[in-house]
Amino acid sequence: MQSEHETYCVLIVEDDLAQLENLRVALSQQPGLVLEAYQTKTDVQQRFKQQLPDLFIADIILGSDKDAGFDLARELQSYQRPIPIIFLSERQSEFDIMLGHDLGAVDYLPKPVSLAVLQRKVTNILRLTKGSNHAVSQAPSDQTTSQLSGLVIDKPNLKAYWQNQLLALTITELEMLEQFAQQPAGSVISYQQLQAATQGVVERNTINTHICRIRQAFKQHSPNFDQIHNVYGRGYSWRDAN
């Protein structure tokens, strides 16, 4: 993930002390991470004024404040520095997930959180962040895969391209999109495949929300994009444009 001398500051905020300790212990097993753990919105705000993290992991509800994590994300945006955010929350409505993405989330994980999945996400996000800091172009690497015309999945760099344009996707959305790219156009990608691709992070009732986000990422480059279709009761299918 990093060279011998590289370190990354990861700031975690979670009001439940037992859960906070579980998160801290799980991530402390990964080399190169400097972890800072907090329980309150005020403490995090004070820390932001002193030093910004390389990655921010936040519960959304802190104490009686139902939107504390969202508020802290907005505050991070005011510093005008791109800092990846992972939200952890029991709130899984389409509105909350969309809002989390709008506030800069690179992932939105449901509680109870799988610590193994979180470890993987943190590793990937920091690798991606490191890569973007040293990138000289938006060209894909040589190790790309896709059976779909116009779509390229650059898995080593955790990126996807549509007609040579970089798609704005979270890592979870990239994992879902990769399921389409691995099959010929017209194949049905089941709900179970999409869930498995994200290590179970995406719940059955939130798959549509993530698919909507994926479609919107394509529409940023192709306003008439309409290749991802729902297959009633089964999943989704990619259909080439006529």
pLDDT at 94: 84
| List of domains in the chain | 8-134 (3.40.50.2300), 151-238 (1.10.10.10)
Contact 57, 73 (CB under 8 A): no
CB 107 within 8 A of CB 117: no
- pLDDT over threshold 80, residue 140: no
| Beta strands 151-154 and 105-110, pairing class | unpaired
- Beta bridge pairs of residue 100: none
Q: Which of 183, 216, 176 is nearest to 199 (CA)?
A: 176
Find the DSSP H helices in 113-184. Answer: 115-134, 171-181
Nearest to 14 by CA among 54, 41, 51, 35: 41
Residue 139 burial (CB count, 10 A): 12
pTM for the model stands at 0.74
Average pLDDT taken over every residue of the chain: 88
Residues 67-84: tens digit of each pLDDT: 999 999 999 988 888 889
Strands 55-59 and 33-38: unpaired
Residue 163: predicted pLDDT:
93
Residue 3's pLDDT band, with cuts at 50, 70 and 90, is very low
